[in-house]
Amino acid sequence: MAFKKIMAGMGVCSLGLASSAVFSAEFNMRLSHGDNENNPTNYAAVKFEELVEKYSDGRIDVTIYPSNQLGDEQEVAQSMRMGTIESAIVYTGNLVPLAPSAGVLMLPYAFTSSEQAWAAMDALQEPLNERITSEAGVRAVGLLEKGFRVLTTAEEPVRTLDDLEGQKIRVSPNNIAIETFKAWGIDPIPMAWAEVFSALQQGVIDGQENPYTTAISSNFYEVQDYITEIHYMMWTGLLLVSERFYQRLPEALQNAVDRAGREAADYERELSAKLTKEAKNELVDLGMELLGPPEDEAKWQEKAKAIWPDFYADIGGKEWALEAQRIMDEAIKNK
């Protein structure tokens, strides 16, 4: 196992001299993701690896490739459709261009707490899977959550909507994020996740939005000064398996993968909540200033919520958007 991890860390795909344990499995499953090894995404991946290997009695062997080693999240999602990569954890915003229906998890200000997002995701998993399997050839075996995406900036703090003016903010390349920032008065810069740290470092962009834990794992505190808790969207992500790969598995192994996915997601959600609290303190110690929510948060909400209907075409059509909202509202009404 340790040997495999070293291979993944080195970006090596296969070697002729691996231990027999590596080759005793009937199925090999590469699991790609875009975060560093101290991010909750990777902890979910490690848990999934452990559980898949356990529940499949070693018949499936999982190897994790963190930090975009197999390609950017959107490239990897494309490869899963072809079945050339077996699994990945992908931020919903990076999947939406391929699987629009997943965008219902991204409607701005849809959730006010992690508990709401968990209930909504659990209720939505089955109908969502039907849609993304046909849209992108992938199925979600676990739905992950890492807390709110918060806005980090360098030099200029963002305390009000007016403070956004003139800031070059990177967003994930999807229309929901792009149009939301436009509603707030600026043209954001869509950019692949793999390029964000160097773009911040070189001043190509002034800021970005991602969860607190990512500000730690991606070392954003080295190049960013302020954090505004804009609360507009949770980081939700999908633990995906290529449908082509999944259909090659015997039923018992499909069940093992499904069970491992659900349990890895439960584990990650709880862990993320804990790590988010710790990250806030750590970021202050590392010199960042946490500004809390914008002073005029109601204005941000009003502008972003007003454009929900404009998103319907980008998230699988009005009928699905309204049906998904109904399912989610029902699930979160007591949370």
Residues near ligand MLT, by CB under 6 A: 34-35, 41, 73, 91, 94, 172, 193, 210, 214, 235
The minimum distance between CB 32 and ligand MLT, in angstroms, equals: 11
Q: How far is CA 1 from CA 23, 46, 54, 175, 259, in A?
A: 11, 11, 13, 40, 21
The minimum distance between CB 251 and ligand MLT, in angstroms, equals: 31
The minimum distance between CB 193 and ligand MLT, in angstroms, equals: 3
The minimum distance between CB 41 and ligand MLT, in angstroms, equals: 6
Q: Which is nearer to ligand MLT, 65 or 193 (CB)?
A: 193
Q: Which is nearer to ligand MLT, 56 or 208 (CB)?
A: 208
CA distance linking residue 92 with residue 106, whole number of Å: 8
Q: Which is nearer to ligand MLT, 41 or 56 (CB)?
A: 41
Q: Which is nearer to ligand MLT, 192 or 291 (CB)?
A: 192
The minimum distance between CB 173 and ligand MLT, in angstroms, equals: 8
Q: Which is nearer to ligand MLT, 73 or 86 (CB)?
A: 73
Q: Which is nearer to ligand MLT, 53 or 145 (CB)?
A: 145
Among candidate residues 70, 55, 63, the one with its CA nearest the CA of residue 22: 63
Taken as a whole, the chain contains a residue count of 335
The minimum distance between CB 61 and ligand MLT, in angstroms, equals: 24
Whether residue 69 contacts residue 33, with contact meaning beta carbons closer than 8 Å, is answered with no
The minimum distance between CB 252 and ligand MLT, in angstroms, equals: 31
The minimum distance between CB 151 and ligand MLT, in angstroms, equals: 12
The sign one gets for the Cα dihedral 259, 32, 213, 171 is: negative
Q: Which is nearer to ligand MLT, 191 or 286 (CB)?
A: 191
Q: Which is nearer to ligand MLT, 34 or 108 (CB)?
A: 34
